[in-house]
Amino acid sequence: MDDMRELITWDQLAVGAAIAAAALGLGGLLVGLLSRAADGRARLTRALVGAVPGPALYGLWRLFAALTAYNPQTGQAGLHRVGTLGLCLLLFVVVGVAYGLLVGATWHHGGPTTEGTKGEATP
């Protein structure tokens, strides 16, 4: 009983992240295609925007794993440094705000908007 092992290995977690990313991407694509958009172009735009979180999740997971990797020479993991934690926080905020703006522009207006002559947004 003295054998201490990890419950989940990094390899298992990487496979789980890849599966979650694929499911999230396909789910977002499906939600966009099944949306109540007026025309096919708006539906396609929503589908593409809905599919973004899957690959983004996987890419950000790989970046986080690289930033927080254990260094056997120093005996430290990445989150032992405040700068790494700050960078992760900054990435979380920037990616979240950017995606929120993209979804807002796409979902509430049927697609990326341009300003009309009287200031109204037109799809």
* 6 found inside a domain: no
* 120 found inside a domain: no
Helices (H) and strands (E) in the chain, counts: 4, 2
pLDDT tens for residues 19-42? Answer: 999 999 999 899 888 887 768 888
* 44 found inside a domain: yes
pTM of the predicted model, to two decimals? 0.70
> Could you give the 3-state DSSP secondary structure of residue 28?
helix
Q: What percent of the chain has pLDDT over 90?
A: 32
- For residue 28, give its domain range: 11-114
Helix (H) or strand (E) run with residue 114 in it: strand 114-115
Count how many domains the chain has. Answer: 1
* 121 found inside a domain: no
* 2 found inside a domain: no
The answer on pLDDT for 114 being more than 50 is: no
The answer on pLDDT for 105 being more than 80 is: yes
Mean pLDDT of the chain: 83
